[in-house]
Structure 1
Amino acid sequence: MMAKKRKVKWGKWVLMFILGLILVTVLGLIINNRIYALKYSNLSTNAEHLSSNEISAVKGVYEYLDNYGDDIFKDFNANKDVIIYNDSYEFLISNDREISDWNFIGRNEELKKYIHRKKADNPQAFAVYAGEKWVGSMSTKNCYDKFIIKSIPVFFPPQLMSMDEEHYKATIIHEMVHAHEAKHNIDRFLKLKSLHSVGDNYYDNKVFNDLIVQEASYLEQAIASKEHNDVLDNTKKFIEIRNTRRKECKMSSDEIQNEKDLEWLEGLARYAEYKASRSSNSLIAKNLGDIDQKVKVKGDDRYYTLGMAQALVLDKLQQNWKNELFTDNFSLEEHLKDVIEYKE
């Protein structure tokens, strides 16, 4: 009887210890989150001019494009105009001294560019038509940090979503890719720029979700493969599983085309972001290469990742695969089929 009482008492202590540990952990997470919230609340996101750090970030983008832009896409560094926006203003950094609908505020000698400004009116992290051309547009890092802290639960560690300077510069490059797409195939870009919620009819379809993760896994293995035949084999398996998913889920031709189109539109931008963030230490940048895990998350981002992965596989298979990139209806998966001579 006494032994039974001791066992019950010991069980209560264990339960109290576990509950206490959970409480301390949750409190620690909340405190960590609130410390970051306090830090970010003091950041400037309404300034009338770009800060020295913000100018430095743009300079870093320019330096990267000058050194490696052609490794991503041919003539990618030809148009380096870019918009950086905060909560109150958009700043257009350009070679042009006069731009309609923008107020010229000065020339920055560090960038050797003219800077223009206007009130922020629904600014977009994408490509924006400014003057007479499309330019990449991205928020300041301060705005991003504030947005993240407001978007996540109070117990979520902000460090998991934080960007360092290297990854932030890569996100600017991501948006500049969309301007590059617009420059080289304006009709396709205009048609696709509002494409979203691709595959949302299948979010609750277990077959769809299981198979699309298998696709990602084969692409990841192809990227990691050292032997050419292994790259070919894993690429073939990716295509076979993709065909199986679409057939078993009875996907329409429009749904299939939407997948291909979003992988072109956003997959190429994610590909550039990935390559430009190789030296980043932020967790969010390092996770870009965790392809099968990224694809498990239901949303358009899975197609960003799948498009990026197919581009990385093509890097291994064909040196000049980007020659046809901006032709009408170019498809990463169809080009993979051609390269490996896949027969349906």
Structure 2
Amino acid sequence: MTMKKSKRFWQMLIFVPMGLCLGLLALSAGVNLGLQTASAHPDTLEEAELARQAEFFHLRQRVGDAVWPGWGAAALPSITYNEAYAFLLAYPGSPPAGWVKVPAGTQRGGAWQTLAGKRFAEQAVYVQQLPPGVEPENFTVRVGEHWVSSLNTREWMQISLAETVRGDLPAFLRPVFPYSLFVGLMVNSDDQYISLAAHEAFHAWQGLAAEAKFSAAQRSVSTDQRYPWEHEGLAADWKAELEFLADTLREEDPAALAGQAERFLQMRAERRKAAQLNSDCVIYEQQREWLEGLARYAELEIWRQGSRSAYQPSAAAADLPDFNRYQGFEQRWRQELDQMPRMFNDQGDGRFYYSGMAQAYLLDRLSPGWKEQAFEPGVWLEDLLAEAVAGAAGID
């Protein structure tokens, strides 16, 4: 190769990828100019949002009891909201004003009004304008005597996710970051949105079926400030624990499962001892796994149940623009198992969503009747797992 040709080769090697990168950045910046920054019609519920809610209620009523006994038949209204309005669905009778945060008991919001021109399951849809800075949040609340799930509309969820990311980025990246791609990865279908609605509805079920346990578990967030998140050894042990759980859930040999569950419990005991976790921190782990881990389990398990051939989606689901009849469950399951070990350094309770969910799936395999005890006071997932392991070994 002559020197001139060599120079051209290196120029191409450097400038062609650079040009491609600049072109992609320019394309991303152009796409961002058209990004939606507010709900199109915030004062009403679009038909697609009503259809998602209809399919979620249909799904829970049809397969919810297969996920958790009693959940499918429970009367659990829902709130869906955007940046300016909250909408109350499937509420029996006329609702009292606002909603109550649980377990704090704080009253929020104002009077509910009937939403003109909209019906849901042959009932009125209620609406109220939200005061600045006030929203029901993604969790569960109470309206009168009823436990109600709460989740933002899919439209507002996508907008607010993009806005949250924008606020966290350095100024020079904000114009070119691929927000649409990111949001698409986070909420990639109507199926996933419906499963997120199930997550929050399971919190409502926890509150309804085990209020004292639910309230104590939610109040345990006060321990968050005292949990040793920065402890390097604890983080490393959490990573090993989560990796082991993910590998165990991939295991297809039923005969090995009890031994693997026993090893997990040993690893957990050793991790806590090495980090010198006090009893408050141990209970914090158990409570967050019960509260959020079980809700994550319900979120995934209702998707799995929906993917089975016997389930037929609601008629409303046929009009959803991005509904795949829950056929993406196996891909989602693989993603969850891949993500699990990465949660070891999460600066918050995200790891407990995964460790609790994993224990629930292990219990499904080892002790099919475990849900009968799971809402009892002082009974935690690891306790039920220890019982299942002892039972498999023939230990009284």
So what's the TM-score if we normalise by structure 1? 0.87
Stretches of structure 1 lacking an aligned partner (at least 5 in a row): none
Higher relative contact order (CA 8 A, sep 6+): 2
2:189 to 143, 160, 164: 164
Please state how far the C-alpha of 1:329 moved relative to its aligned partner: 2.0
Residue number in structure 2 paired with 1:289: 337
Q: Which residue of 2 aligns with 1:249?
A: 275
Q: Distance in 2 between matches of 1:246 and 1:34?
A: 50
Alignment of 1:1-344 (within 5 A): 6=3, 14=10, 17-18=13-14, 21=17, 24-25=20-21, 28=24, 31-32=27-28, 35=31, 38-41=34-37, 43-44=39-40, 47-77=42-72, 78-101=74-97, 102-105=112-115, 109=119, 111-120=121-130, 121-152=134-165, 153=169, 154=174, 155-156=177-178, 157-158=181-182, 159-196=184-221, 198=224, 201-278=227-304, 279=326, 281=328, 287-298=335-346, 299-341=348-390
Counterpart Cα distance in 2 of 1:165 and 1:37 = 25
1:226–1:296 distance in 2 versus 1, CA, 3 Å: same
Residue 134 of structure 1 aligns with an amino acid whose one-letter code is: W
- Secondary structure of the 2:36 match is helix
Q: CA deviation at 1:48?
A: 1.8
- Pairwise CA distance, 1:80: 3.2
1:22–1:254 distance in 2 versus 1, CA, 3 Å: farther
Q: Residue 200 and residue 221 in structure 1: after superposition, are their counterparts in 2 closer, same or farther (change >3 A)? A: farther
**What is the SS of the residue equivalent to 1:226?**
coil
CA distance in 2, matches of 1:339, 1:26: 57
Residue 97 of structure 1 deviates from its aligned partner by 2.4
Q: Counterpart of 2:375 in structure 1: which amino acid? A: F
- Three-state SS of the structure 2 residue aligned to 1:266 is helix
Counterpart amino acid of 2:128?
K
Give distance in 2, aligned partners of 1:192 and 1:12: 65
Contact 2:139 2:150 in 1 (8 A): yes
Shift of 1:322: 0.2
CA contact (8 A) 2:88 2:126 kept: yes
Shift of 1:289: 3.2
- Write the letter of the residue equivalent to 2:156: C
Task: Tell me the CA shift for residue 16 of structure 1.
Answer: 7.3
Residue 292 of structure 1: how far off its partner (Å): 3.2
TM-score calculated relative to the size of structure 2: 0.76
Q: 2:77·2:146 contact (CA, 8 Å) conserved in 1? A: no
- Total equivalences in the alignment: 338
Residues of 2 paired with 1:178 and 1:216: CA distance?
24
Q: Percent identity?
A: 22
* Residue 320 (structure 1) shift: 0.8
Greater shift in the superposed pair: 151-160 or 267-276? 151-160
Cα 1:53–1:235 shift into 2, 3 Å? same
Deviation readout 1:104-123 (Å, 9 max, x if unpaired): 33685552333111222322
Could you list the runs of 5+ residues in structure 2 that have no partner in the other structure?
98-111, 305-325
